[in-house]
Amino acid sequence: MNNRFEYTKTDRDGVIVFTLSGSLDIGTVATMKADLDSLLSIGQHNVVFELSDLEQIDSSGIGAIIALFKRVRTNKGMVKIARLVGQPKEIFSLLRLDRVFEIHSDVEAALKSFH
């Protein structure tokens, strides 16, 4: 298993797409969280997480995504999930987060759902 965590972010017509890979856990979540906080502070409130290369997520990673979801919703934004597979999909299902978040088959579908 790849224990490294990497992500890229791109602005797609006012929606920030975070593409995550590796393991989002207690040891790696702070890196992404600081970046998310800075985006929220400058008014970016629509986010898509593309998770096809995310191998593992733990409660810290889930907590960060839920905290972001709450902050974004307060500011009339949305957090959506694209390409949820593997262990992260099992965790989302187990925690019934698939009923909380809009989950899309790909990034393009998630982006279209904002408009």
For 71-93, write each residue's pLDDT tens digit. Answer: 999 989 999 999 999 999 999 99
Q: How many structural domains comprise the chain?
A: 1
Size of the chain, expressed as the number of residues it contains: 115
Average pLDDT of span 90-98: 96
Residue 59 belongs to some domain of the structure: yes
Higher per-residue confidence, 4 vs 89: 89
Residue 19 belongs to some domain of the structure: no
State the CATH number of the domain containing residue 96.
3.30.750.24
Q: Is the pLDDT of residue 3 over 70?
A: no
Average pLDDT of span 36-56: 92
The domain containing residue 35 runs over which residues?
5-14+28-112
pLDDT > 90 fraction of the chain, expressed in percent and rounded: 77
Residue 54 belongs to some domain of the structure: yes
Rounded Cα–Cα distance for residues 29 and 64 (Å) = 7
Query: Which pLDDT band, with edges at 50, 70 and 90, does 10 fall under?
Result: very high
Residue 65 belongs to some domain of the structure: yes
Residue 23 belongs to some domain of the structure: no
Residue 70 belongs to some domain of the structure: yes
Higher per-residue confidence, 110 vs 27: 110
Position 96 scores a pLDDT of 97
Residue 78 belongs to some domain of the structure: yes
What does the block give as tokens for 54? Answer: 């995310």
Residue 10 belongs to some domain of the structure: yes
